[in-house]
């Protein structure tokens, strides 16, 4: 029986607000999973890098759920690429705590934490599961022309973590396939478990009331793009779409909710605001700061459609949560979005990133009430397959399997 697990999240903390800096869907994933696990009587310790001198060594988040801030590099925000040299220091800080009372399993998240997890596994002999959340080689296949490729250090680390983990967790069957195709992952060590949705928070509601709540005009058609501002998320595509849709549907408005992220984030935000001005989108596009995760539900409910034009997604939590609010999604047919969005049933999937194609799908939803209602109903039904209870059940099975695999050597 699993009594205690340790989650490693070196580059970002579950205590941070998603949508800005290094914080995104992975933060939600770890926080929700930890809370669900503690509800099952499993103690969860999360280890993350200290990013401010004022952060305490330990935060008791909930009964059985603790977050440790570990010294690794200077106690300040840093781009992910700068953290490679601090992996050993982070791992040693984790081991200083775990050596006293080792957990049943270490579950690392992302390639940086996976590298630290390997150090812990080798020194303490604790089974290691790893979730990548994104894969460097897969991101490179879909990156925008002006983006730099992922570092050689990242690719090397991913290969090492995949080879030595007792369980490599894929969010969808497609990610499992990508791990085998692009990294030569051993299929006997691959485990598939999708994230969940908090259906108590992300639930349907009255659209007009939601629009009043967030300060939107009740009578205008609205679309939302939510997430960190970085080239990967395809917000540049969404702006081009907004220009096309606004010409076809007077009063249309697009809200982009999220802050700059990563080393190219600020430049990308500047580029986007400049492009919005070129396209004469004043009064059409609104750049909105990131909001607390639970407040996103009200923005989803206020929208006619949520757009997810990402260039790469291992899962696509925004799409899943929007559908749980009964909102159809128009998304790129890429990565986990093919698993999260049921094309023609809960939303519309688009091949590639041609703005005309995405705009046609948005216009069809805004101009066809019957189609919108049908996909809204389908979105609710499809989203029921994603729950944190199911995710926790699956992980408890995977952790037991990782323990047995480690015992067999």
What was the pLDDT predicted at 23? 63
Q: Which residues pair with 58 in a beta bridge?
A: 68
Q: Where in the chain is the domain with CATH 3.40.50.2000?
A: 4-196+387-408, 207-383
3 state SS of 36:
helix
Domain 207-383 has CATH 3.40.50.720: no
DSSP state, residue 295: G
Given a contact cutoff of 8 angstroms between Cβ atoms, the answer to whether 156 and 148 are in contact is no
The three-point CA angle 130-131-134 to 5° equals 135
Per-position DSSP letters for 298-318, written without gaps between them: HHHHH-SEEEE--S--SS-HH
Taking Cα atoms as reference points, which of 254, 262, 184 lies closest to residue 230?
Answer: 262
Structure token digits, residue 29:
């994933």
Spatial distance between the Cα atoms of 187 and 177, rounded to a whole number of angstroms = 9
Identify the CATH number of the domain defined by range 4-196+387-408. 3.40.50.2000
Spatial distance between the Cα atoms of 251 and 278, rounded to a whole number of angstroms = 19
Taking Cα atoms as reference points, which of 257, 263, 254 lies closest to residue 231?
Answer: 263
What was the pLDDT predicted at 344? 97
Taking Cα atoms as reference points, which of 317, 360, 352, 355 lies closest to residue 333?
Answer: 352
Burial bucket for residue 277 (CB in 10 Å: 0-12, 13-18, 19+)? exposed
What was the pLDDT predicted at 409? 65
Spatial distance between the Cα atoms of 78 and 63, rounded to a whole number of angstroms = 30
Instruction: Return averaged pLDDT per consecutive 10 residues of the chain, 409 residues in all.
Output: 96 80 79 95 97 96 97 93 96 96 96 98 96 94 88 97 96 95 95 94 97 96 94 95 98 94 82 96 94 94 98 94 98 95 98 97 98 98 96 93 81
């Amino acid at each position: 029986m699993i009594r205690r697990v340790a989650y490693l999240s070196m580059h970002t903390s579950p205590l941070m607000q998603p949508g800005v800096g290094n914080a995104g869907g992975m933060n939600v994933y770890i926080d929700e999973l930890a809370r669900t696990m503690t509800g099952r009587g499993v103690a969860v310790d999360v280890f993350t890098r200290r990013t401010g001198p004022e952060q305490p060594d330990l935060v008791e988040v909930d009964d059985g759920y603790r977050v440790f801030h570990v010294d690794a590099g200077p106690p300040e925000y840093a781009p992910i690429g700068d953290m490679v040299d601090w992996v050993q220091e982070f791992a040693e800080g984790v081991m200083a705590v775990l050596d006293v009372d080792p957990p049943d399993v270490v579950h690392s998240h992302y390639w940086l934490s996976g590298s630290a997890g390997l150090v812990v596994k080798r020194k303490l002999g604790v089974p290691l599961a790893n979730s990548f959340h994104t894969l460097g080689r897969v991101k490179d296949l879909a990156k925008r022309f002006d983006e730099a490729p992922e570092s050689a250090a990242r690719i090397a680390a991913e290969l090492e973590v995949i080879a030595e983990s007792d369980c490599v967790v894929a969010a969808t069957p497609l990610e499992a396939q990508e791990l085998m195709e692009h990294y030569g992952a051993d299929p006997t060590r691959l485990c598939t478990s999708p994230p969940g949705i908090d259906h108590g928070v992300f639930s349907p509601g009255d659209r007009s009331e939601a629009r009043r709540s967030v300060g939107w005009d009740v009578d205008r058609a609205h679309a939302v793009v939510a997430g960190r501002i970085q080239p990967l998320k395809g917000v540049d595509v969404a702006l081009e779409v907004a220009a096309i849709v606004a010409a076809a549907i007077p009063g249309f408005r697009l809200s982009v909710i999220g802050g700059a992220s990563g080393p190219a984030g600020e430049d990308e935000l500047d580029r986007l605001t400049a492009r919005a001005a070129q396209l004469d989108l004043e009064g059409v596009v609104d750049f909105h700061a990131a909001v607390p995760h639970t407040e996103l539900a009200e923005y989803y409910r206020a929208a006619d459609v949520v757009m997810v034009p990402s260039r790469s997604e291992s899962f696509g939590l925004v799409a899943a949560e929007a559908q749980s609010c009964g909102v159809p999604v128009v998304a790129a047919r890429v990565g986990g979005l093919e698993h999260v969005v049921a094309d023609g049933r809960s939303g519309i999937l688009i091949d590639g990133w041609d703005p005309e194609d995405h705009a046609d799908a948005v216009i069809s939803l805004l101009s066809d009430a019957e189609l919108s209602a049908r996909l809204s109903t389908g979105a609710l039904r499809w989203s029921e397959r994603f729950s944190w209870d199911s995710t926790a059940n699956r992980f408890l099975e995977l952790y037991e399997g990782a323990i047995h695999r480690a015992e067999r050597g």
